[in-house]
Chain A
Amino acid sequence: MDFLTIVQILDSTVRLATPLLLACLAGLWSERAGIFDIGLEGKMLAAAFFSAAIAFTTGSVWLGLFAGIVASVFLSGLHGVASITFRGNQLISGVAINFLAAGLTVVIAQTWFQQGGRTPQLATESRFGNIVLPGAETRIRDIAQQGPLGQVYSELISGHSILVYVALLMVPLTWFLLYRTRFGLRLRAVGENPAAVDTAGVSVVGLRYAAVVICGVLCGLAGAYLATALNAGFVKDMSAGRGFIALAALIFAKWRPWYALSACLLFGLFDAIGNRYQNIQLGEFIVPVQFMQALPYILVVIVLAGLVGKAIPPRAGGEPYVKER
């Protein structure tokens, strides 16, 4: 394996980790405020469909992105109404949202485009193109001519869509907002001890709704990235369990932003390796591709089993807050 191959694998790691990272941070915001969200998958899927559909009909990928975010925030709001206002079961609400998105996207796609539940292929100008940083090469033949540093710069750092850079920026932003602002402190407190926040005269309901909306926006970005940057259009069930891998990464990262980045990059790497090599030969053993696909899930079970550190969720997670009377 030469150096360029490694760089290429890392490059596709970044691409594949981006939707995971955005969804993972979305889950982080929601769960830090005490709202469990297993509906990340559904929100991503809805955003993927609406961003592709609107980008196709209007020709503008930015309008598509906006539509995707609106769809995702709508589902977030539904989750909020069910789990904050009506104090319903947050897990059941998440399950419902996943199915709602899985069903509605195909039903609407069939009505709008009559292509068996998918959107038409997006043209290059209605997708997010790759940004070429100054001085970077774009053609693989030119990149191969460069030295190692140039290869890393041209292949790995340059040439991603804007959403990749946005996702990476979201990590320090999330960290800063959660740990260095008053809003973040209150939001984390709501996830640990809502009664204390309430006693301090801050609205628990307001903070939790704010968290779900932020979660919706981030999931919207993740979905739009899937349909308009990573792929060219929407196909049925295209999120393909990424929402759950993001959830897995969130637990793996123990609900912390920087760890979330490394967890998502790790799971992205598995995905990239699995895509590139079908079966991996390790000495005598052949590691089947299915094992690589299942690896994130297996790792999470191991982490949850407490074999590698202990993952402690926000204490008030999953509990609806009932004001004392």
Chain B
Amino acid sequence: MTTDIKAPDQAPTAEQPPSRTTARAPKRRSWTGLWFVLPFTAVYAVFLLWPMVLGLYYSFTDKSLTGRPVSWIGLANWAEAFADEKAWDSLWNTAWFTILSTPPLVILGLVFALLAHRARKMGWFLRLSFFAPFVIPVSVVTMIWVWMYQPDGGLINHYLAEWGLGGDRLWIFQEDAMGSVVITTVWWTMGFNFLLYLAALQTIPPEVYEAADIDGANWLQKLWSITLPLLRRTTVLVIVLQMIASLRIFDQYYLMAGGGMNLSPENVFIQYMYNSGFVGFRVGYASALSYILFVFILLIAFVQLRLLSRKED
């Protein structure tokens, strides 16, 4: 931090010498580098570091969107957040979504990548159809899926009824629609994991299978004892990235609840935070909630990296 503050005073002196001193010896210490780094660092400081500091400060105040004077209220927001049942409910729902969505997202990503790796002649078509949903805006995704989920004659319930799976319950849209959000999310974002696995598969040299081929191993044995162990690093990465992404769920949940799906409107944590801040105007309280989410995500990422990378050794 001290160097940050020192930098601007020293900067003017850097203006004359750089071209001469640094051009000859790129590694010699000078202030030139600072000019390269400064534009990004400035934007970073204003739109990331400062909001972080500000958020922490607000979490100790009763700051409100209505703009009335701010007063320091110590740990009151934090105490309230930890005792807030709705906040815990929404956190649990976020965790539940993560638990439901991570396994299919990881496993399907792997299975589809294994298929696409073998079926190389269809590679272009498979990459298009598995990954294309990932580049589509979330509102388009939810528009299409809400339309397909419609209870009376929507595409999915139509076929479920036709195959005798739906009957009058029309389960895919009723009661707890979390399953529908999970299915939509799997369709939308599986492609990213698919590509990570596919790229990893392509780095495996074919020679590693030669010994197994000579021994007459079948594809399942090769998959189990060669391919999967070689993919372990990728799997660690995919699981960690996936869980972090799932814990941040907001967009599709918000839009599907707004699209008439049977979802409790405050059911995921970011939405609860958003509502506290922008609907309830309680910026201070919402800031405390933000920090709880932030710490929660960091903890999970840290624990996972620890657990999973230990297994690797």
Determine if chain A interacts with chain B.
no
